[in-house]
Every structure is written in structure tokens, then in C-alpha cells.
Amino acid sequence: MMTEEVRRAIEEISGVIPESRIRRDEPMDAHTSFRTGGPAAAFVVAENEDELSAALSALAGSGAEHLLMGNGSNLLVADEGYPGVIIKLGGDFESIEQDEEDPCLVRVGAAKLMSSTSAFLTGRGLAGFEFASGIPGSIGGAVFMNAGAYGGEMKDVVESVRVMDADGTGLRELGNEEMDFSYRHSAAEENGMIILSAALRLRSDDREAIAARVAELSAKRNAKQPVNFPSAGSTFKRPAGGYAAALIEEAGLKGYRAGGAEVSEKHSGFVINRGGATTEDVLAVMRHVREKVFENSGIMLEPEVRLINCSL
Ligand SMILES: Cc1cc2nc3c(=O)[nH]c(=O)nc-3n(C[C@H](O)[C@H](O)[C@H](O)COP(=O)(O)OP(=O)(O)OC[C@H]3O[C@@H](n4cnc5c(N)ncnc54)[C@H](O)[C@@H]3O)c2cc1C
């Protein structure tokens, strides 16, 4: 069911974005790495800043609920779906460009995947992004939550970020400091601004040495993580003074199941979809884990995965 606000916003958006990129009742299990979630009332792909600005302005004007998604690798969408408009970036937002005068500076569009960014940088002999090569998100999603792995975080490589305000106005470039990065956090989480691109500061190195480091981290990831099952990576944030996976294991929850969702046997920090899981199954596992870990350790785990139209 489409609300009146969504209907009005979509009518306006269709004056700017071709119908072929506006879908109704779009199943979100096709767009999330968990492979769960019901339909979004509308799903729009914006391919340049003008389209995005017009779409956001229409949404702000109509008051329709909306969400800008990246690659869907940190989202858990309700089985009932999402009653608003989901915007995804494509086209121009997938660009990547090395600065001609300053070759260690690379401008990457928000929709570009971390894996292809890493491949580009390796090919140009630019080091510093190896830590991020296996994170299955987009640059926008990674900047939004200061994604990190193997001792590196986006904040270590981001020099500046081009952003737009949530209402489609206010284009500007923010420096690293202004992004207020901290553990799995950036200023974008607070003010709803949209990340359009990021300028990454790398250092030059031997291509083969970079490729070898990427391969080593990829082998580590494959050995430790349940990469063959749908998931959203680490389900819970690292709590102060501990590791979520260790706390979950200590509470005896490895392999705990509800329906098709399970605390991974391979890495207890991951809830996986063993096949046919619903979002409700994943939530049931998450609720049980939080309760039992709290009973066992006194620590209340907070989700790292973003809950869309659902709650614990
Ligand atoms: C197998 C697996 C392994 C993972 N390993 C890691 C890991 O090692 N380290 C790690 O940090 N994460 C990891 N993750 C989680 C996930 O990949 C990261 O959180 C990633 O940064 C999410 O990016 P995304 O593009 O998929 O964003 P989405 O999941 O689509 O969105 C996440 C949030 O970002 C916001 N967002 C996305 N794009 C933009 C934008 N352009 N402007 C403003 N807001 C935006 C969305 O609104 C949403 O709130 C893993 C996930 C999986 C499935």
C-alpha cells in the first residue's frame, strides 16, 4: 500500500527520473546481503546530483518517509517491507578518478563498491586501502559508518567528503575532521546528509606488494568468516572492554537457531541466513543473543546492522 505522501513524491520524481528507474513494491530481499525483507513501496535509482537533489526535494516537500541505501550489506529490512521510498545511487555515482596533479588523491563516487575501488587502487600502485578491500559495501555506506577492518578505518584514508543535505540542497565538501569519525560513526549519522563522493588519500607503493596484502586479508576473511552464507557481517557493535563474538560464544550461543537464522558456527559475531530465513527469524536470534549475553556478562550488545522498519 502506497501512502498519499509517497504517491505525491513519486509523481513529482517521475518528472525528473525516468520511469524505468522507479519501481513500485520492490522486494528488498533482492537488495540486501541478508537476503531478507519485504517490499519497499517505491525504489528509485538516482544517477546524478541533479536527479538526487530533485528526488530529495520532492520527498522533503511531500513528507514521505525515505531512506538512502548503499549496497545493502548492513541493512535488515522488516518482512512487511518499507512503507516509504528507498533511493539507491548509480550512474555518475559509480565514478572513480585519480587526481592528475596529485596522483595519491583519488575521488570515488558514493555508489562505487569497496572491492572495485580496491582493484582500481591496486592497479594504480596506490596503497592504504587494503584493509577495506573485502568489505562488501559501497564507498557511501562505508563513509557513513566509518567502516573498518584489520586495523584500518575509513577515517584513515578519507581526506574529504562531498555531501548534500537531506533536503537536496547545501552541496559542500567536508574535511576529515568535520566528518567527526569515530568507531562505526560519522557526522552523517546525525544530520542525515547524503554522501556523494569521497576523496581518498593513498600512498604510492609496488603494485604486486599491494595485491599480495589484499590477497592475504582476503584469505584471512575467508578462513574466519561465514562468507558463503548471507549475512550483514558483524551483527553487533564491539562493546567497550570486549568483543561481541567472544561474549556470544561464552554465553554458549554458537549455532543458536531460530527458523532459518543462526549464530554462525564459524564466527559467532555473525548471524547468518542458512536459507529461507525471514527478518523476524534474524530478529529472534538477535533478541535471544542480547538477553543471554546480558545475563552472562552484564553487557548489553547494540546492533551494528541497521534495522529498517523493525526493532529488537
Ligand atoms: C560478509 C560481510 C562482511 C562484512 N565485513 C565488514 C567489515 O569488515 N567491516 C565493516 O565495517 N563492515 C563490514 N560489513 C558490514 C557492511 O559491509 C558495512 O557496514 C558497509 O560499510 C555498508 O555499506 P553499504 O553500502 O552496504 O551500506 P548499506 O548497508 O546500504 O547502508 C548502511 C547505512 O549507510 C547509509 N548510507 C549508505 N550510503 C549512503 C550515502 N551515500 N549517504 C548517506 N548515507 C548512506 C544507509 O542509509 C544506512 O543507514 C560486512 C558485511 C558483510 C555482509
Residue 141 CA, ligand 1 centroid: distance in Å: 4
Has 291 been annotated as catalytic? no
Q: Which of 221, 250, 304, 306 is catalytic?
A: 304
Residue 15 CA, ligand 1 centroid: distance in Å: 30
Q: Is the pLDDT of residue 273 over 90?
A: yes
Q: Is the pLDDT of residue 239 over 90?
A: yes
Residues 276 and 179 in one domain: no
Cα-based angle 43, 49, 54 (whole degrees, multiple of 5): 60
How many domains, the chain? 3
Atom of ligand 1 nearest to the CA of 146: 11
Q: What is the pLDDT of residues 133-166, one digit of tens each?
A: 999 999 999 999 999 999 999 999 999 999 999 9
Q: Is the pLDDT of residue 229 over 80?
A: yes
Q: What is the chain's mean pLDDT, rounded?
A: 97
Question: Which residue among 207, 222, 237 closes a domain?
Answer: 222
Percent share of the chain, pLDDT over 90: 98
Contacts for 142 with CB less than 8 Å, ≥ 6 apart: 70, 114, 132, 135, 154
Q: What is the pLDDT of residues 36-59, one digit of tens each?
A: 999 999 999 999 999 999 999 999
Residues 240 and 211 in one domain: no
- Give the burial class of 45: count Cβ atoms within 10 A of its Cβ; 0-12 exposed, 13-18 middle, 19 or more buried: buried
- DSSP letter (8 states) at residue 182: B
The CATH number assigned to the domain holding 63 equals 3.30.43.10
Has 304 been annotated as catalytic? yes
Residues 175 and 159 in one domain: yes
Distance CA 274, CA 171 (A): 43
Residue-level pLDDT at 2: 86
Distance CA 43, CA 246 (A): 38
Asked if 79 and 279 touch (Cβ cutoff 8 Å), the reply is yes
- Three-state DSSP class for residue 95: coil
Asked if 177 and 159 touch (Cβ cutoff 8 Å), the reply is no
Question: Which residue among 89, 107, 124 closes a domain?
Answer: 89
Residue-level pLDDT at 242: 87
- Three-state DSSP class for residue 287: helix
- Whose Cα sits closest to atom 51 in ligand 1? 233
Q: Which of 234, 262, 264, 268 is catalytic?
A: 234
Q: Is the pLDDT of residue 1 over 80?
A: no
| Local confidence band at 241 (pLDDT 50, 70, 90 cut-offs) | confident
Residues 103 and 199 in one domain: yes
Residue 195 CA, ligand 1 centroid: distance in Å: 13
Counting Cα atoms < 13 Å in the Cβ hemisphere of 210 gives: 21
Task: DSSP for 118-141, please give it.
Answer: HHHHHHTTEES-GGGTT--SBHHH
